[in-house]
Amino acid sequence: MLERAPSQGTKHDTSALRPVAFRGAGFMPGGGRVSGWIALALVIALWQLAGSAGWVNPLFLPPPSAIAVAIYKLAISGTLWQHVLASVVRIGSGWLIGTVLGVIVGFAIGLSTLARGVGITFISALFPIPKIALLPLLILWLGIGEEPKIATIALGVFFSTAISVYSGVDAVPRNLIRMAQSFNVPVHAIVAKVVWPGALPSILAGFRITASVALLLVVSAEMIGAQFGIGAFVLQAGNLMQTDQLLAGVVILSLFGLAVGKAINVLEARLLHWR
Amino acid sequence: MDLIADHISHRFGALEVLDKVSFTVASGEVVAIVGPSGCGKSTLLSILGGLLRPSEGGAELRGAPPADSLNPLTFVFQDFALLPWCTVEANVEFPLVHTGLGITERRAVVDDALRRTGLSDFRGAYPKQLSGGMRQRVGIARALAVRPAILLMDEPLSALDSQTRELLMEDFIRLLADGAMGAVYVTHNLEEAVRLADRVVVLSRRPGRVREVVTIPMTRDERGGSDARGKLLTLQDQLWSLIRDEAIDAEREVQHA
């Protein structure tokens, strides 16, 4: 029979009691989405006020309303879509080619000793090169059409993708692979059902980076040699001192970046729901 | 089907881990492997299960596995080794997908394994939603699904709290009761060893050698009785006296490393 211990929870002398000081606050930043939107609205309002009140020269910094009007006019005239479409096609093609090749090479490096030896050597040597510096060479090799621009984007995307993929493959817990081997699961199924989903968080994080790289490279490439595209449009507007149109182009680029980021968020929420 | 450790030696570079370890696990027999930390227990189990190639000697099988066994030597891992992106059901089904079983048969096998491990109500849950004990139950259900001849268990309870350990130990005793399945049970817990095993292989400190093979002179049914408790404690003490000094040396070695 267990004996019950006497309860000691009663407060005998309340006069000497004082609360334990709370020391666990902070170091847990939350989402803060509302404050972010408020801050953005405040900056835009201040910017608008500075323009309307004549505090800044609209030639150098047109107010947000002027930029909105410029975007509206460009959209109505169809010019905007012409430039956006040209950039989207280049980014889409370059990103897709670079990503497919990067995933293949990344997996090969992650899974094969020979591919790792060869691949890491080349990637280490070539990754630091600013890819836009290769555009003139690519123009010499591929001509002055779309190919060199797409190839520049593909090159930039390829290296970052390959690195994030093989890092992801390396990060897959080996015990999961050994578990699959212990059940005689074939190699191709281990790659498809263990390595691929295990590496996916790193691959998707890489997509976020390569989307920015692709955007950066398409603008740079279009500034060097293109008639259409957001980069070409921004450069042209700058040359003509049409700062409202220049900033309209910048806003479009920002919106494009946001849209891609959002798409990757959706992809992560769908594919990585188990985390 | 018997599993034979035949003069297994293993080295990791210059580090000698196992030295000519030999013993036999007969069909339906449960053999526990105990020894000081770092004596190569888990390495030995990996070699026995074909996940590690030994430097010398080898693991051999004698006799045919049961006709319905899909994976005669099946591991239950210390860290559960569950696929975090798969539900409980998909984790249990994972080793069956490439066995040639049809979907209906696979579902029946999974249902049976989940029922035997009390997981039927958790089939749609993900590992992160489960407690440690439940995760290990998934690991056990996955192992049972392939109808093993011999379970290779690598400290399957060491990551769990004491209450969960007790519950799962009762499950192991129940699952191994009919003698249809044998097991090699690696543990540092001598109580688990004497409660579950038919024989206990005591390894010396590194390089691990078979120091003693202790037979538990009771059936597992008998060990559940209150009068058996004293005998089991005596056995536990005997095992501890065999490894105590070496365990202290191994501990000091770890501290100085």
Interface pTM (ipTM) of the complex? 0.90
A175:B77 CB<8 A:
yes
Q: Classify residue A96: in a domain, yes or no.
A: yes
Chain B residues whose CB is inside 8 A of the A185 CB are: 94-95, 97-98
Residue type, A29: P
Q: Which CATH number do you get for residue A224? A: 1.10.3720.10
B95:A274 CB<8 A:
no
pLDDT digits (tens, 9 = 90+) for B130-157: 998 899 999 999 999 999 999 999 998 8
Q: Classify residue B214: in a domain, yes or no.
A: yes
| Residue B81 predicted with pLDDT over 90 | yes
| Residue A9 predicted with pLDDT over 60 | no
Q: Classify residue A57: in a domain, yes or no.
A: no
| Residue B254 predicted with pLDDT over 70 | no
A274:B84 CB<8 A:
yes
Across A230-242, b (16+ Cβ under 10 Å) vs e yields: bbbbbbbbeeeeb
pLDDT value, residue A41: 94
Nearest by CB to residue A274, choosing from B74, B81, B85, is: B85
Which domain covers residue A136, as residue numbers? 70-271
Q: Assess contact for B250 and B37: CB atoms under 8 A.
A: yes
Q: Classify residue B216: in a domain, yes or no.
A: yes
Q: Classify residue B161: in a domain, yes or no.
A: no
pLDDT digits (tens, 9 = 90+) for B178-187: 878 999 999 9
pLDDT digits (tens, 9 = 90+) for A172-201: 999 999 999 999 999 999 999 999 999 999
Return d(Cα A204, Cα A263) in angstroms, integer.
Answer: 11
The rounded percent of chain A whose pLDDT value lies above 90 is 72
pLDDT value, residue A6: 65
Q: Classify residue A11: in a domain, yes or no.
A: no
pLDDT value, residue A215: 93
Q: Classify residue B235: in a domain, yes or no.
A: yes
Q: Classify residue A79: in a domain, yes or no.
A: yes
Query: What does the pLDDT average to over B208-218?
Result: 90
Which domain covers residue B233, as residue numbers? 196-257
**Number of separate domains in chain A:** 1
**Number of separate domains in chain B:** 1
Chain B residues whose CB is inside 8 A of the A184 CB are: 71, 95, 98
Identify which of A131-145, A243-257, B159-173 has the greatest average pLDDT: A243-257
Distance from B257 to chain A by nearest Cα, in Å? 25
Residue A180 — φ and ψ, nearest 5°? -60, -40
Return d(Cα B165, Cα B64) in angstroms, integer.
Answer: 33
Q: Classify residue B250: in a domain, yes or no.
A: yes
- Which of A:148-187 have CB within 8 Å of B? 175-176, 178-186
pLDDT digits (tens, 9 = 90+) for A215-268: 999 999 999 878 899 999 999 999 999 999 999 999 999 999 999 999 999 999
3-state secondary structure at position B76: strand
Q: Classify residue A49: in a domain, yes or no.
A: no
Considering all CA atoms of chain A, what is the largest pairwise distance in Å, rounded to the nearest integer?
95
pLDDT digits (tens, 9 = 90+) for A75-126: 999 999 999 999 999 999 999 999 999 999 999 999 999 999 999 999 999 8
The residues, ordered by sequence, that sit 6+ positions from A224 with a Cβ below 8 Å of its Cβ are A132, A135
The rounded percent of chain B whose pLDDT value lies above 90 is 56
| Residue A11 predicted with pLDDT over 60 | no
| Residue A7 predicted with pLDDT over 70 | no
Taking CB atoms and an 8 Å cut-off, how many pairs form between chains A and B?
48
